[in-house]
C-alpha cells in the first residue's frame, strides 16, 4: 500500500458534516484513502522493475487471536493493478510453529477476508496488528490443521473494493511471495488453495480465473468460495438504494472507480461530496449509512441512463467473472434465500466455467447471506482438505442441503 506521509488527525462527526458543505473539488485524488503514515508500505525506488510476487520488505506481523502458535510475517510485495501497472500490496503470512509432518511441502491457504471497505485502517494487515480480528475466526480451522495461511490485503494500494482483477493479482502475488522465500518455511511446490466469502469470494474467484495466465507456476490445487458477487449488474436490483446494503454497494462503486477513474467524471456535485465522505469508511460505517439513507447510485450523476454508457458497460464486463475458466477444481457455495447477492450469479458462473471444462461443484445452503456463510464453514474447510489430497470435484454438480 502506498500510504506514506503524515498521519491524518482523527476526524470527528462534526468535521465530516462540515465536509459536505464545502465547495466541490472534482479531483480523483480527493477520493483516495487517507495515508496512515507507515513507511513500511512505501515501496523502494525501482520496485516497478522487479517481477510480480517479489518480496520488497518484511517485518514481524500481527497475529490477531489464534489458538495455534504461529509465526507471523507482514510482507510488502510487488503486484499488478487492474490496468497492468506495477503496484505494492501487503499480505500477512501465518505459519504454524509445529513442523509439517505430512507428505510433500506444507500447504498454504490464501484466506481472503471480506474487507468490503475503503480505508487503509480497514485492511487485514492493519487490523491484525491492532489485535484480535473477528474476520479471521474461520482461518483458525486451516491453521489448526497445520496449514500455512496467507491473508492478502487484496484491495490493493488504493483500497479498490470490488475491483476483481486487482484483487486476483494481489492474491496470486501474495502466494508467490510466500512460497518463493525459503525463510518462511514454504516451498515453490507448496500446494495452495484460495478461499473466501462474499467480498473475499471476489478475490478468490478472480485469483482462480487469472492464475493460468498470470501465475501458471504456482501449485494452485483448488478454489473454495461462497456468496460470490460474480456479476455486479445483478446487484443493481438487490442492493442499489434498496436496503441496508445500499451503503456497501456505493462503497463498491467507489472502490471500482479508484481503479477506473474515468468513471468519476460522471459524478455530479453530490456524488463527489459523498465519495469524499466515504473514502475512509470501513464496512460497519458503510452499512450504518446505507441503513439510514439508502441512496441509489443514479442520484449521484446527471448523466442520463448511466448504465448504458459505453465506459460503464466496459467496466461491468471487465469485472464480471466467467470469461476464462480456472484450471483447478472449484467448490462454490451460496444461500438459497439470498437477499443481496442473487443465487443466479453463482449458477451462471458455474455454467460458464463448466462449459469451458472446469470442474465446479455448487452447494446451495439454507439461509440468506450471513446464515448461509456460517452454515457452510465446516463443509468449505472439508473441501480444502479434499483439494490438498487430490480429491476435489471431478465434474460439475449442484447439490441442495
- Cα–Cα distance between 68 and 139 in angstroms, integer? 11
Residue 379 phi, psi (nearest 5): -70, -40
Q: Once rounded to an integer, what is the mean pLDDT over residues 338-359?
A: 96
**Angle formed by the axes of helices 246-259 and 269-278, to 10°?**
90
Q: What band does 22 get if pLDDT is binned at 50, 70 and 90?
A: low
pLDDT tens-digit map of 161-192: 999 999 999 999 999 999 999 899 999 999 99
Cell numbers at residue 155, please? 484491495
The C-alpha cell 470469461 sits at: 323
What integer pLDDT is reported at residue 132 of this predicted model? 74
Picking from 255, 258, 239, the residue whose alpha carbon sits closest to that of residue 247 is 239
pLDDT at 4: 37
Average pLDDT of span 76-83: 98
Other C-beta atoms closer than 10 Å to the C-beta of 269 total 12
Q: Where do the structural domains in the chain lie, given as residue ranges?
A: 233-316
Query: Which residues in 106-206 belong to E strands, given as ranges?
Result: 108-112, 148-152, 192-197
**pLDDT for 13:** 43
Residues 72 and 271: their CA atoms lie apart, in Å, by 40
Q: pLDDT value at position 277?
A: 93
Share of the chain above pLDDT 90, in %: 79
How much is the pLDDT for 236?
Answer: 85
* Mean pLDDT, rounded, of the chain: 91
Over 50: is that where the pLDDT of 3 sits?
Answer: no
The pLDDT of residue 23 = 60
pLDDT-derived band at 12 (thresholds 50, 70, 90) equals: very low
How confident is the model over 259-278, as a mean pLDDT? Answer: 94
pLDDT for 244 beyond 80: no
The architecture in CATH of the region 233-316 reads Orthogonal Bundle (1.10)
At 298 the pLDDT is: 85
| Residue range 86-134, pLDDT digits in tens | 999 999 999 999 999 989 999 999 999 999 999 999 999 999 988 777 7
Amino acid at each position: 500500500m502506498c500510504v506514506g506521509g503524515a498521519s491524518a488527525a482523527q476526524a470527528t462527526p462534526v468535521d465530516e458534516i462540515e465536509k459536505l458543505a464545502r465547495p466541490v473539488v472534482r479531483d480523483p485524488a480527493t477520493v483516495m484513502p487517507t495515508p496512515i503514515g507507515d513507511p513500511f508500505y512505501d515501496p523502494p525506488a525501482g520496485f516497478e522493475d522487479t517481477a510480480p510476487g517479489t518480496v520488497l520488505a518484511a517485518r514481524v506481523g500481527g497475529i490477531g487471536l489464534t489458538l495455534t502458535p504461529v509465526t507471523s510475517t507482514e510482507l510488502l510485495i510487488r503486484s499488478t493493478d487492474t490496468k497492468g501497472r506495477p503496484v505494492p500490496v501487503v499480505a500477512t503470512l501465518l505459519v504454524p510453529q509445529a513442523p509439517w509432518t505430512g507428505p510433500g511441502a506444507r500447504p498454504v491457504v490464501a484466506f481472503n477476508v471480506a474487507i468490503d471497505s475503503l480505508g487503509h485502517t480497514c485492511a487485514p494487515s492493519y487490523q491484525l496488528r491492532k489485535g484480535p480480528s473477528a474476520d479471521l475466526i474461520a482461518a483458525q480451522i486451516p491453521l489448526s490443521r497445520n496449514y500455512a495461511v496467507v491473508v492478502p490485503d487484496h484491495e490493493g494500494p488504493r483500497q479498490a473494493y470490488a475491483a476483481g482483477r486487482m484483487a486476483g493479482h494481489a492474491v496470486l502475488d501474495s502466494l508467490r511471495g510466500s512460497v518463493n522465500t525459503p525463510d518462511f518455511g514454504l516451498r515453490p511446490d507448496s500446494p495452495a488453495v484460495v478461499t473466501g466469502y462474499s467480498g473475499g469470494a471476489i478475490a478468490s474467484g478472480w485469483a482462480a480465473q487469472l492464475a493460468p495466465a498470470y501465475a501458471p507456476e504456482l501449485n494452485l490445487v483448488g478454489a473454495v468460495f461462497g456468496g460470490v458477487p460474480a456479476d455486479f449488474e445483478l446487484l443493481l436490483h438487490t442492493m442499489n438504494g434498496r436496503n441496508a446494503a445500499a451503503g456497501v454497494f456505493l462503497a463498491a462503486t467507489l472502490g471500482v472507480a479508484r481503479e477506473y477513474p474515468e468513471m468519476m467524471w460522471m459524478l455530479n456535485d453530490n456524488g463527489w461530496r459523498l465519495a469524499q465522505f466515504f473514502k475512509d469508511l470501513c464496512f460497519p460505517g458503510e452499512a450504518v449509512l446505507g441503513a439510514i439513507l439508502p441512496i441509489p447510485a443514479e442520484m449521484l450523476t446527471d448523466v442520463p441512463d448511466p448504465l448504458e454508457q459505453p465506459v460503464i458497460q466496459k467496466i461491468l464486463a471487465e469485472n464480471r467473472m466467467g470469461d476464462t475458466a480456472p484450471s483447478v477444481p472449484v467448490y462454490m457455495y451460496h444461500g438459497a434465500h439470498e437477499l443481496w447477492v442473487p443465487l443466479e450469479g453463482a449458477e451462471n458462473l458455474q455454467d460458464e466455467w463448466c462449459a469451458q471444462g472446469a470442474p465446479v461443484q455448487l452447494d446451495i445452503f439454507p439461509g440468506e447471506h450471513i446464515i448461509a456463510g456460517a452454515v457452510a464453514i465446516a463443509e468449505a474447510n472439508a473441501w480444502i482438505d479434499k483439494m490438498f489430497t487430490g480429491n476435489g470435484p471431478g465434474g460439475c454438480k449442484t447439490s441442495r442441503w
